Chain A
Amino acid sequence: MSETKHICCKCNEELIPQKITFEYMGITMNHELPCCPSCGVLFISEELASGKIAEVEMQLEEK
């Protein structure tokens, strides 16, 4: 997770870690990510997308 502060442009609030629900290949899972407490805008870093998320995607595709 990124250490940098991320601010929601719409609500001007800092994105704070919250449990986010994801779905892929019919399977639902949760992960804590920076998220605007008001509007729900998220931040996913490139590192997370091309690392852990890509790994999980590949696993789920073969589940």
Chain B
Amino acid sequence: MDIVKMTDRQHDCIAEAPPSCECVCPLGINVRDFIKKFQSGLISAAYKIYKKFSIFPGIACHLCKEPCKDACVRASIDSSVSLIDLEKYCWQENRSKTQDKFFIPVKNKKVLIVGGGLTGSACAVKLAQRGYDVELIEKSHRLGGRLCFIDNDILPEKVLEDEMNMLFTLKHLRVILNTCVEDLDDYDFDAALIATGEDGNVFGAHKNREDYYLKDGVFFTGSLANPGQDYMYSIRQGSEVSYLLEDYIKINKIGAIPQLHPESLYNPDIRRIVPVEKAKPSDPENWTMDEIKAEASRCLVCTCESCKDSCEMLTYFNKSGKRLMIDVSDTLNQVILTKKTAVLPSMSCTMCGACKNVCPVDIDLKELCIETRRVLHKQGSLPDAHYDFWLNDMEHSNGQEAELFIPAGNQEAKYIYFPGCQMGASDPKYVEKSYEWLYDSFKGDTALMLHCCGAPAYWAAREDMFTENISEIKQRWIENKKPIFILSCPTCMEMFQNNLPEIEVISLWKIMADNFITRPKTGKTVSVFDPCTSRNDKKTQDNIRTLVNKAGYEITELDKHGEDAVCCGYGGLIYSTNPSLTEAIAHNNKSLGEPEYITYCTNCRDSFSLIKKPSRHILDLLFFNGNRSLRETPGLSERRRNRSKLKEDLLELKMNQNFKLNAKPYDAVTLFLTDSIKENLDKKLILEENIKEVIYHAEKTEEKSYCTEGEEKIYTAYQRQGNVTFWVRYKEVDGGYKILSAYTHRIRIEGV
């Protein structure tokens, strides 16, 4: 789908669509506006809204059958919000107050309304309020039609009388009682409405017609068109038909009464809604202000924010999904010249896909964000420097220092084990032990491929690099006569399934769940942290739980697991763009549950380890003894060394070869770094290699400056590497260089 189609989906978003109560309201009352006024204590403002839709508020609050009760979201949680009591309260409080009057220009157009029932009267009020010269003719001695026969207990006579008497006070409305219209030709009008009721004169109209139009500007509606209809629908029809008459007068258009709102698609997560007991008035007929406000405050003012509720990024930027779509459209079309409001949010998307899972209309903001990155990259307006580190890391995984292919023990490989680039970086033993297990289980039929699946290039919107990476994997697959790939990393699984559908894949966890021997129970309980990329892979989630149980552990599920799985903060390469969001995500995840987490994504495990949340990779349970729960995450430079170490070990073990890293000119530079400096470098995504290169260059060319601190010289040197300039402050010490600090900037120095 192209970006225009993606942003156009803002029109499908139901965020501003009417809530379920409004969808079933025969009067179509704007419930959100009404309730917001109530909750703010603005009762007369709430009454104005109610009156605008009901026209006869006293009648409406006595005769409404409350279909909103069943539609209310609270109905299935505690009890529906009693809108009828709110309506009655604001009517009681304001019924005798003089309403504001506004100057309305006179239209000088005549409207004839035959029949003073609910529909005719409602239409008359609406048109007179808009400045039309309205003549309402009623054959009986009073207005109200069917209402005049309602029991006084249901609709008090006084209420009906007061509301109908209001018609006599309207400036542009002339009510004529006790008059029977025999022939419309006897009257002069620009448009007319026949609302003579079920048994009234039809003037040639066919009952149950749908278009409400007779001829020569004459419309008909009310019970005449729909016998026996609900009183509230009669009012709404009167209101709606007033617009039909107006359109006819203004532009000679013959329209139709719009349908009520379609069924609401809003489907909130009711687990997040706190039950609140219904307000109990001391006198049900006379609520106090506090009582009624308490009831109003129970209303959730239902607005679909499912995507925002499920997304840390949208919450961070306080944007709705719809707003994001509008921002993307504005940014790419340069509608707002001063600010590209979608750049930072789209680069802060973790690509977890939770938004689409919860969206009632399947809007995929993850795809929108990745496509936005791609379009911005092509336009040259994506700040690519943010992705330098990750793309270099991918190159490292696929380069001489880490990339490896070990053929199967037998001539032909039935399987290729593809553990991904992060497992070996986190701990080379993870790969070695799982590969050894597979090798033994399949009696040597398994080859091993150490390579990146291309996710960093995909997330960084580098389609060229991603395509090249995919081709390399495919080439290896073809060379080995198309074996099955065994995948362990959920991100790799997603990349393979979406981009290499021709390759048959199987999850390592499926093989292990089927073949692992059950161990004695440990009596310990853990929680499985499902990575976001596993959200729609229930089989893998089940296999992991089987493995955890087989390893002797009980499981307490986290609130967010399975299809509600959340991102650990690594996805989408958001750290370089938005470190504070990454940190917030990790900390929120930390508090999902008390027990130790078991993950099956090394990035998830390492993210938790960084914030000291006890967590283990599933392989820790299966292959390692001792407490690895708080195993420290290797630093960024250490991760690269781990990859090389893995290659070295495997080459020696499986192929009896010595591994020699290609020499780099700066290899001879020896650094002395304290732990706090190392930690600081990791936070800034600076590798020891970056620093060595800067110092090597500075020492070789003398392009550096110094200042003195006491007797010591402190050197400062810098070098542009890719899209980033690295700065290093250091001292010369015996045998090398002591690093004092290092920092970067993306801005390019052009010169003097």
Contacts and interface: CB of A to CB of B under 8 A. Distances in A.
Given A9-B706, A39-B703, A43-B716, A22 B747 contact: yes
Interface string A23-62: 1111010000011100111111010011001101110111
A22 B750 CA distance: 5
B747 A21 contact: no
Contacts of A39: 703
A16 B746 CA distance: 23
Given A20-B751, A21-B751, A41-B705, A26 B380 contact: yes
Contacts of B750: 20-23, 28
Contacts of B704: 9-10, 41
Contact of A10 (B702, B741, B748, B749): B702
Nearest to B703: A41
A61 B344 contact: yes
B727 A21 contact: no
Contacts of B381: 25-26
Contacts of A26: 380-381
A38 B95 CA distance: 87
Interface string B334-358: 0000111101100000000000000
Contacts of B703: 9-10, 39, 41
Nearest to A40: B752
Contacts of A54: 745
Given A20-B749, A57-B745, A63-B339, A46 B702 contact: no
Nearest to B748: A23
Given A9-B704, A9-B705, A46-B727, A22 B343 contact: no
A21 B344 contact: no
B727 A44 contact: yes
B743 A50 contact: yes
A62 B705 contact: no
Contacts of A15: 705
B614 interface: no
Name, among A6, A18, A19, A39, the residue most crowded by chain B CB atoms within 10 Å (CB to CB).
Answer: A6
Interface string B707-726: 11000000110100000000
A36 B749 CA distance: 14
- State the majority secondary structure of interface residues on A: mixed
B582 to A, nearest CB: 16
Contacts of A35: 752
A51 B432 CA distance: 44
B741 A46 contact: yes
Contacts of B344: 58, 61-62
Contact of B716 (A6, A20, A57, A62): A6
A19 to B, nearest CB: 7
B744 A4 contact: no
Nearest to A46: B743
Contacts of A24: 746-748
B383 A61 contact: yes
A54 B718 CA distance: 17
A13 B702 CA distance: 13
Name, among B343, B727, B745, the residue most crowded by chain A CB atoms within 10 Å (CB to CB).
Answer: B745
A9 to B, nearest CB: 5
Contact of A8 (B338, B705, B747): B705
A54 B383 CA distance: 13
Given A6-B705, A22-B750, A36-B705, A61 B343 contact: yes
A6 B343 contact: no
Given A42-B718, A54-B745, A61-B344, A7 B751 contact: no
Contacts of A34: 705
Contacts of B702: 9-10
Contacts of B701: 10
Given A46-B727, A62-B343, A18 B752 contact: yes
29 contacts: A5-B708, A6-B706, A7-B707, A9-B702, A9-B703, A9-B706, A10-B701, A10-B702, A10-B704, A19-B752, A21-B750, A21-B752, A22-B750, A23-B747, A24-B747, A25-B383, A26-B381, A35-B752, A40-B751, A41-B705, A42-B705, A42-B749, A50-B743, A53-B745, A53-B747, A61-B344, A63-B338, A63-B339, A63-B340
Given A20-B749, A53-B747, 18 more contacts: A6-B705, A7-B707, A9-B705, A20-B750, A22-B748, A23-B750, A24-B746, A24-B748, A35-B752, A36-B705, A42-B705, A42-B718, A43-B716, A44-B718, A46-B741, A57-B745, A61-B340, A62-B343
